Amino acid sequence: MMSDTKTLFQHGTLALLVPGLLTGTATMADILAHGDTGIGTGEGLDGELIILDGVVYQADANGQINEVDAQFTTPFANSHFASYEPLVTVSDQSRAALQAAILTASNSANTFFSIRLHGIFKNVTTRVVKKSTKPYKTLAQTAASQVVFHRDLVEGTLLSYYAPQIFDGAAVGGFHSHFLADDHRFGGHLLSYETATGEVDFQQFDRLDQQLPTSDAAYMNHDFSADDILESIHKSE
Amino acid sequence: MMSDTKTLFQHGTLALLVPGLLTGTATMADILAHGDTGIGTGEGLDGELIILDGVVYQADANGQINEVDAQFTTPFANSHFASYEPLVTVSDQSRAALQAAILTASNSANTFFSIRLHGIFKNVTTRVVKKSTKPYKTLAQTAASQVVFHRDLVEGTLLSYYAPQIFDGAAVGGFHSHFLADDHRFGGHLLSYETATGEVDFQQFDRLDQQLPTSDAAYMNHDFSADDILESIHKSE
């Protein structure tokens, strides 16, 4: 069977992280069955995941990059089968300018897409969430204990997913980016960078394959109506 | 290949109807490839569709029920392969009470599901949207010219899809229901009924297969940021 390169797979929702529904409800084997490229987090918000060429890397709160195995579980992850095409080449471009350039060049603000940018980044800041155990913390509580890392200059790969704003809350509206340094000594959820230099690769999707953890009683029993999902998410990003 | 009975297929979004992106971007053949049961509307909001046992019925603004063919197109539709199970039996139950009973009995407020209720309905009101041609009207303009139909007592089938609130705007958050009378002389988008008597069938999904009309230039070029999507939708429902 040929891989489907027009579909973005998502397990869980961004929203379920808000009240702390952090049980790992899919394995990396499940996620990799839907793609060789992706991002996510571990059970209990155990670090920041980036999947490149079928290998799952975890940036942990100690600043280590680990490879995790097929049994490692996640409450929320995206994956897809890579089939990128070059979109633009950038030199010392700011993040805001690059995002605007991507939206203009791709004309894809109303659909899902992925960006992969390998290059040189200046003044990069990432955050890594810290694992909590049951009873799980809320996203706001977790964000308060996140660890922030910085590099003045680093070569590596930025992997982003973009979702149209109407999907904000189910997915991350706009760009959601993780980073992995080539030397595997730095990574995590990308908070900011000053400039990037490199080739920007683009892959558009026409389909979201959204899987929900219907076997997880905590998820199914939760009353989301009391959570201020979008406000909490946007404070944490 | 066995049919996938745990997946709800959706073509387009509720949101794209708001600014009037009403080009038919999928055919009934496409929709039926993803299910034998469903609801939707035609190009230009050409009536209200209900799909039962693989047959697509269109309630039109003249009050007629028509069967449409495989080439008929839609901007927004849902479908799935029916595999319902009995959930509850109701007798002269109000719509609000039934929706509450369904949520309690199914414990499925946080996932997608479908309800099919064949029975006797009292004081049923439906609306049917009226086709517009290019330049398409907005949803608010279309709603202003919708036609409303009523039956004091009618036997027929109510078909509903339920979406978790976090998907409101992409899908219809909560229940979205169409109706078809057994005699094929009455149908449309269900606005209200007083009571229903019959067996309530339930089918839970763990997956949303969301397809976006990326080949439609009008959709891809539209700036949704100026539309008040949710307010407009909730005024029209």
Amino acid B25: pLDDT: 98
Q: How far apart are CA A61 and CA A27, in angstroms?
A: 21
| Owning domain of residue A152 | 7-236
B204: which chain A residues are within 8 Å (Cβ-Cβ)? 214
Amino acid B195: pLDDT: 98
Task: Answer for the pair B78, B162: CB distance below 8 angstroms, yes or no.
Answer: no
Instruction: Among B106, B110, B111, B165, pick the best mutation site for testing chain A contact (most A Cβ within 10 A).
Output: B110
Amino acid B237: pLDDT: 60
Number of domains in chain B: 1
> Residue B162 falls within a domain, yes or no?
yes
Cα distances (angstroms) measured from residue B57 to each of A151, A207, B10, B111, B200: 61, 26, 18, 27, 21
pLDDT per residue as tens digits for the range B167-207: 999 999 999 999 999 999 999 999 999 999 999 999 999 99
> Residue A203 falls within a domain, yes or no?
yes
> Residue A1 falls within a domain, yes or no?
no
Residue A87: pLDDT band by 50, 70, 90 thresholds? very high
> Residue B2 falls within a domain, yes or no?
no
Identify the CATH number of the domain in which residue A217 sits. Answer: 3.30.1330.80
Q: Is the pLDDT of residue B136 over 60?
A: yes
- pLDDT, mean over chain B: 95
Residue B61: pLDDT band by 50, 70, 90 thresholds? very high
Amino acid A237: pLDDT: 59
> Residue B1 falls within a domain, yes or no?
no
- C-alpha A229 chain-centroid distance: 18
pLDDT per residue as tens digits for the range B24-54: 999 999 999 999 999 999 999 999 999 999 9
Please name the residues between 199 and 218 in chain B that touch chain A, using a CB distance below 8 Å: 204, 206-215
Task: Answer for the pair B219, B24: CB distance below 8 angstroms, yes or no.
Answer: no
Q: How far apart are CA B156 and CA B47, in angstroms?
A: 18
Question: Is B226 touching A (CB cutoff 8 A)?
Answer: no
Q: Is the pLDDT of residue A1 over 70?
A: no
Residue A232: pLDDT band by 50, 70, 90 thresholds? confident
Amino acid A144: pLDDT: 86
Q: How far apart are CA A36 and CA A48, in angstroms?
A: 16
Q: Is the pLDDT of residue B6 over 70?
A: yes
Chain-chain contact of B107 with A221 (C-beta, under 8 angstroms): yes
Amino acid A236: pLDDT: 64
Task: Answer for the pair B177, B93: CB distance below 8 angstroms, yes or no.
Answer: no
Instruction: Among A5, A106, A207, A210, pick the best mutation site for testing chain B contact (most B Cβ within 10 A).
Output: A210
Query: What is the nearest CA distance from B120 to chain A, expressed in angstroms?
Result: 32
Comparing CB atoms, the residue among A165, A215, A219 nearest residue B110 is: A219
B108: which chain A residues are within 8 Å (Cβ-Cβ)? 214, 220
Q: Is the pLDDT of residue B1 over 70?
A: no
Q: How far apart are CA B235 and CA B231, in angstroms?
A: 6
DSSP summary character for residue B72: -
Residue B231 CB partners (closer than 8 Å, separation 6+)? none
B164: which chain A residues are within 8 Å (Cβ-Cβ)? 224
> Residue A127 falls within a domain, yes or no?
yes
Chain-chain contact of A170 with B170 (C-beta, under 8 angstroms): yes
A28: region left, alpha or beta (phi > 0 left; psi from -120 to 50 alpha): alpha
Amino acid B45: pLDDT: 95
B213: which chain A residues are within 8 Å (Cβ-Cβ)? 206
Q: How large a percentage of chain B has pLDDT more than 70?
A: 98
Question: Is B105 touching A (CB cutoff 8 A)?
Answer: no
Amino acid A39: pLDDT: 98
Q: How large a percentage of chain A has pLDDT more than 90?
A: 90
Question: Is B119 touching A (CB cutoff 8 A)?
Answer: no
Residue A45: pLDDT band by 50, 70, 90 thresholds? very high
> Residue A2 falls within a domain, yes or no?
no
Listed in sequence order, the DSSP H helices in A107-156 are 139-144
Question: Is A108 touching B (CB cutoff 8 A)?
Answer: yes
